[in-house]
């Protein structure tokens, strides 16, 4: 449920609990509705705008900004993200994943055309899937070798064309904000595309809307902490574990700092 900061010893009345429940329900329904409206606008931009990618960038940031305004979320960016970028090089953001709000938080806080590497199942969701394709989100089907190679070429072309790819190396959301074990797929992609990896952690967001829950907390503050870029061009497939350890070590340090 939505929780507010109450003085010690104060107990909510039945009326107070009802108001909190109503507010939570209203926020959830509005968020779903606004996300659907944004999906529709993204598809329209992709079809008719003269500069579709730029328009989609603006739409995604508008979506994130409005989502956070209704939950009164404050974001503090720590570190110089733009200093980690290497012009002309494919770039991958490796980010921890503890909430449904992780991706809009990054859209909101960081510049550029950021798109996520998404599960292929999401592309089958009506309207959402169409919007993800229109927004140039990327999925790689590792179960189908021929499809995976084609997806890899698409990912490489998109990144070389200026898209920064957001990847959650944990693969699933953490319930408590602690870093889960990493999966290999994102590091395969980084090595195969010769990318630069920028480690980033979002701290405190798991308290806003915990994983696998509709409970919400309003008026919180979070931090987005940016690490140092890791140039993957010197790594081969045999070095994948070493690369994973280097990125994970940075992210753990960022979480603990």
pTM here? 0.88
**30 located within any domain:** yes
**With 0-12 CB in 10 A as exposed, 13-18 as middle and 19+ as buried, what is 87?**
exposed
**101 located within any domain:** yes
Considering just the CA atoms, what is the radius of gyration of the chain in Å?
19
**With 0-12 CB in 10 A as exposed, 13-18 as middle and 19+ as buried, what is 24?**
middle
SS3 state of residue 111: coil
**1 located within any domain:** no
Total number of domains constituting the chain = 1
Q: Determine how many CB atoms are found less than 10 A away from the CB of residue 119.
A: 12
Structure confidence at residue 152 (pLDDT): 86
Domain enclosing residue 157, as ranges: 14-256
What's the pLDDT band for 58 if we cut at 50, 70, 90? very high
Structure tokens at 221: 């503050």
**7 located within any domain:** no
What's the pLDDT band for 50 if we cut at 50, 70, 90? very high
What's the pLDDT band for 2 if we cut at 50, 70, 90? very low
CB 155 within 8 A of CB 58: no
- d(Cα 222, Cα 104) in Å, to the nearest integer? 13
What's the pLDDT band for 10 if we cut at 50, 70, 90? very low
- d(Cα 48, Cα 234) in Å, to the nearest integer? 41
pLDDT tens readout for residues 18-43: 766 788 889 999 999 999 999 999 99
What's the pLDDT band for 16 if we cut at 50, 70, 90? low
**3 located within any domain:** no
Q: Name every residue whose Cβ is closer than 8 Å to that of residue 238 and which is 6 or more positions away in sequence.
A: none
**4 located within any domain:** no
CATH number at residue 234: 3.40.1130.10
Give the rounded distance of the alpha carbon of 62 from its chain centre: 15
Among 251, 194, 195, CA closest to 228: 251
Structure tokens at 112: 């550029």
CB 232 within 8 A of CB 194: yes
**236 located within any domain:** yes
**105 located within any domain:** yes
pLDDT tens readout for residues 96-113: 998 889 999 999 999 999
Mind giving me the DSSP string for 163-185? EEEEE-TTSS--SSSPPPPPPSH
SS3 state of residue 94: strand
- d(Cα 49, Cα 44) in Å, to the nearest integer? 8
Torsion angle, alpha carbons of 167, 173, 177, 178, to 10? -80
- d(Cα 3, Cα 217) in Å, to the nearest integer? 5
């Amino acid at each position: 449920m939505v929780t507010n900061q109450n003085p010690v010893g104060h107990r909510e009345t039945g009326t107070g609990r009802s108001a909190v429940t109503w507010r939570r329900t209203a926020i959830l329904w509005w968020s779903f509705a606004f996300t659907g409206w944004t999906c529709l606008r993204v598809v329209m931009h992709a079809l008719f705008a003269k500069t579709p990618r730029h328009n989609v960038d603006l739409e995604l940031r508008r979506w994130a900004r409005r989502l956070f305004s209704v939950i009164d979320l404050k974001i503090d960016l720590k570190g110089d993200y733009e200093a980690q970028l290497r012009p002309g090089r494919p770039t991958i953001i490796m980010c921890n994943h503890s909430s449904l709000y992780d991706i809009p938080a990054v859209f909101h806080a960081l510049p550029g055309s950021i798109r996520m590497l998404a599960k292929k199942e999401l592309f089958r969701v009506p309207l959402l899937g169409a919007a993800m394709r229109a927004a140039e989100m990327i999925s790689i089907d590792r179960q189908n070798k021929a499809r995976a190679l084609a997806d890899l070429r698409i990912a490489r072309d998109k990144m070389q064309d200026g898209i920064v790819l957001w990847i959650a190396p944990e693969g699933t959301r953490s319930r408590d904000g602690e870093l889960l074990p990493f999966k290999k797929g994102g590091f395969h992609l980084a090595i195969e595309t010769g990318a630069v990896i920028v480690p980033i952690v979002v701290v405190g967001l798991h308290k806003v809307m915990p994983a696998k829950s509709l409970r919400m907390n309003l008026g919180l503050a979070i931090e987005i902490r940016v690490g140092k870029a890791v140039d993957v061009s010197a790594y081969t497939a045999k070095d994948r574990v070493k690369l994973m350890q280097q990125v994970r070590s940075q992210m753990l340090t960022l979480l603990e700092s």
